[in-house]
Amino acid sequence: MTTTDLPRLTALSHGAGCACKLPLATLEQLMASVGQSLGGAGGDLLVGAADGDDAAVLRLDDERALVLTTDFFTPIVDDPRDWGRIAAANALSDVYAMGGRPLIALNLTAWPAALPVELLAEVLRGGAEVAAQAGCPVVGGHSIDDPEPKYGLAVVGMADPARLLTIARARPGDRLVLTKPLGTGVVATAVKRGAPDPAAVAAAVAAMTTLNRDAAEAALAAGVEAATDVTGFGLLGHLHRMLRASGVAGEVDAARVPLLPGAAELAAAGFVSGGTRNNEAYLRDHVDLEAGLPPVVATLLHDAQTSGGLLLSVAPDILGGLVTDLRERGIEPAVVGRVLPARLNDGAPALNAPGAAGRIGVRRLPPPR
């Protein structure tokens, strides 16, 4: 089989990158039925499956805790090495989102027998390259024969049990800080449909292969306690999960949310994934979109991201120092909203709250000048 005879990798997948995740509604139904058997936090298990966080955390002693996660997905770009790099950065991100440092990883691979193994070798080289940047050796793994290619990592990290980042510690008054722009989902969908803008693809690949290491280190240094990474459930989906776990509500200023180059144009042209549509359907009863919000912006707020940035809930008194530190590390953070009190148990609204725990109000963009 010559190179010209090979199918595009994205043509072999039903969904690109994290857009192939189970929908939030399906996942929550699943966890409702098996969550108790998987278990939540207790004793030395500081974060378990039932907690809905980015990774599990097991305390070893007063100063050390293991952070364990796994993530894999179908091709998001056609270049095999870039796919490997993106998938590795995405898997490592769950450790960073907990305030951990990746230690060691294993490959998870599904590969069609009809595709040359040389292509798989490129995928693995890309994954190992990014893992090496994180100081995390890839030491083996597992592979299966599968008609749809898939790749990712199982990662073990280390964290200080007294300085974890979790989704359950957002507090009213906190500001919401995003460390990467949105739009990887619409770019990936354009790639899958064979109509990519090369400049938009290059910008998206650069964002997706950038580790969240520096953002996590800055957050820990500033004293941030609540964080998650933005992946397949989109900005609003991951924010909803953080707010609900914390028993609070929130507000997003759509005008402040950064977008990748070309993302708005691709969304307007209809390059919207099934994963994004699933996010919109699930969040319809949890998000209040202010009248006048452009449909393209609403789509991108739900856009199923892959290897997105960290979403941090930051106390106002440490916000300035965090922003300065992030910028010194080459990250341009965006303060995209705030955390509000949720409604009281008797149904009366708390001051300025948009609704119950987990509910999000989205303000419209200002009119063009």
- Residues 200-210 have pLDDT tens digits of 999 999 999 99
Whether pLDDT at 14 is above 80: no
Of 104-113, 255-264, 281-290, 345-354, which gets the smallest average pLDDT?
345-354
Instruction: Name the percent of the chain lying above pLDDT 70.
Output: 90
Active-site residue among 18, 243, 304, 322?
Answer: 18
* Residue 16: pLDDT band with limits 50, 70, 90: low
pLDDT-based confidence at residue 351 (cuts at 50, 70, 90): very low
**Residues paired with residue 109 on neighbouring β-strands, in sequence order:** 143, 151
Pairing of strands 287-289, 360-363: parallel
- Phi, psi for 145 (deg, rounded to 5): -80, 125
Q: Where are the alpha helices (DSSP H) in 57-212?
A: 80-97, 117-133, 184-192, 198-208
- The pLDDT value recorded for residue 350 is 44
| Average pLDDT of the residues of the chain | 90
**Listed residue (151, 86, 87) closest to 115, CA to CA:** 151
142-151, 257-266, 330-339, 354-363, range with the lowest pLDDT:
354-363
Task: Say if residue 352's pLDDT is above 80.
Answer: no
Q: Supply the pTM of this predicted model.
A: 0.92
Task: Please report where in the chains the tokens 């948009």 appear, as a residue.
Answer: 354
**What confidence score (pLDDT) does residue 29 get?**
76
Do the Cβ atoms of 326 and 179 come closer than 8 Å? yes
The tokens describing 37, both together, are 């058997």
Q: Specify the pLDDT at position 365.
A: 52
Catalytic: 20? Answer: no
**What are the chain's domains?**
3-163 (3.30.1330.10), 175-363 (3.90.650.10)
Q: What's the pLDDT tens digit per position in 262-277?
A: 999 999 999 999 999 9
Task: State residue 92's pLDDT score.
Answer: 98
pLDDT single digits (tens) 306-316: 999 999 999 99
Determine the pLDDT at residue 39: 62
Percent of the chain residues past pLDDT 90, beyond the cut: 78
Contact criterion met (CB below 8 Å) for 226 and 322: no
- pLDDT for 12 equals 81
What's CA 130's distance to the chain center, in Å? Answer: 17
pLDDT in tens, 44-70: 999 988 778 889 999 999 999 999 999
| pLDDT tens digit sequence for 25-48 | 777 777 777 756 666 778 899 998
Q: Indicate the pairing of strand 248-253 with strand 360-363.
A: parallel
Report CA 26 to chain centroid distance, whole Å.
18
Q: For residue 73, what are its two tokens? A: 């997905």
Q: Which residue has the tokens 């599990």?
A: 56
